[in-house]
Every structure is written in structure tokens, then in C-alpha cells.
Amino acid sequence: MEKTFVMVKPDGVQRGLIGEVIARLERRGLKLAGAKFMRVGMELAETHYGIHKGKPFYEPLINYITSAPVMAMVWTGPNAVAAVRQTMGATRPTEAAPGSVRHDFGLEVGRNLTHASDSVENGEAEVALWFDESELVEWGRAIDEWVFE
């Protein structure tokens, strides 16, 4: 089953939106496979956002993500990567679809509340970067057959 890495960023945590984000993913039918509330260190932040190194927003991005705790999670389900990206909305809150998290709670790209892996390949890499194998939980959910075809 596809896995994706999801993070409630420091602004989402500070604004009390951990539950809101989790509720939306649960309601959608996705299944939680791992979660930890943590402070992001410099090294992890730089590896995670390595692709953006050199861009003008890179430094503010690293400062933001390391500034306060985050909620790091792994969610699974069919098409989990695309489904979660859609639930979070486009990178810029003013371009995010109405009903998405970034639309409903955000205004600025540098305070866009959540992270979600953008491809199946990156999902696998980000899950491996943020979580040890032993931190992931595989479990049967009674309603699975009514959500997963």
C-alpha cells in the first residue's frame, strides 16, 4: 500500500491544527502508519529540504521548520500521495482549492501549515528519512474493506 510522509509544520502546531489535519486525513479514509511529535534538527531540515538549497526562500524555510515542534506522520492508502496533496492544497494558500487545508487556514506560502510528499518515490524516501522502520505500525482496520476496493 502506498505510503506518504505528512507533517504539520510549526505554524500548524502553534495554531492548534494537529487534530484538524489528522481528522481530515482519517475522514478521507487514509490510515495512520506512524506519528511523532518532535523538534526538527538542522541536519534533518537541510536533508529534507535539500532540493530547495540555493533558492531565495531556503534560509527562511529552514528557520521556520526548525523554529518550534512539528507533528511528523506517515499515512497509507490507495493513491495516498495524490490524495494527501489534494487534501493539503497547492503550495500557495491563495492558489489552494477551497476546502483544502492550506486554503481554509492559510494566507502565505511561508506559513502554509503542512508538508506532504509530492510523488510516490519521494514518499518512500521521506518516510525512510523521518522514520525508523521500527516506528511504523502495520495494522488491520475493521473498515478497510469499506474504504479500500
Give the residue numbers annotated as catalytic, written as ranges: 115
Shortest Å, Cβ 111 to ligand DAT: 9
Pick 94 or 141: Cβ nearer Mg ion:
94
Give the H or E element holding residue 37.
strand 31-38
Residue 4 interacts with which of ligand DAT, Mg ion, none, CB < 5 to 8 Å by class: none
How far is CA 147 from each of CA 5, 22, 77, 81, 141, rounded to the nearest angstrom?
A: 20, 17, 9, 16, 10
Compute CA 116 distance to the chain's CA centroid, rounded to the nearest angstrom: 4
Which parts of 82-121 interact with Mg ion (CB under 5 A)? 118
Sites of contact with ligand DAT (CB under 6 A): 52, 57, 61, 91, 109-110, 112, 115, 118
Number of residues that bind Mg ion (CB under 5 A): 1
3 binds, among ligand DAT, Mg ion, none (CB under 5 to 8 A by kind): none
Which CB atom, from 77 or from 106, has the smaller least distance to ligand DAT? 106
What DSSP string runs through 48-109? HTGGGTTSTTHHHHHHHHTSS-EEEEEEESTTHHHHHHHHH--SSGGGSPTTSHHHHH---G
Taking the least distance from each CB to Mg ion, the nearer of 29 and 111 is 111
Q: Which residues bind Mg ion (CB under 5 A)?
A: 118
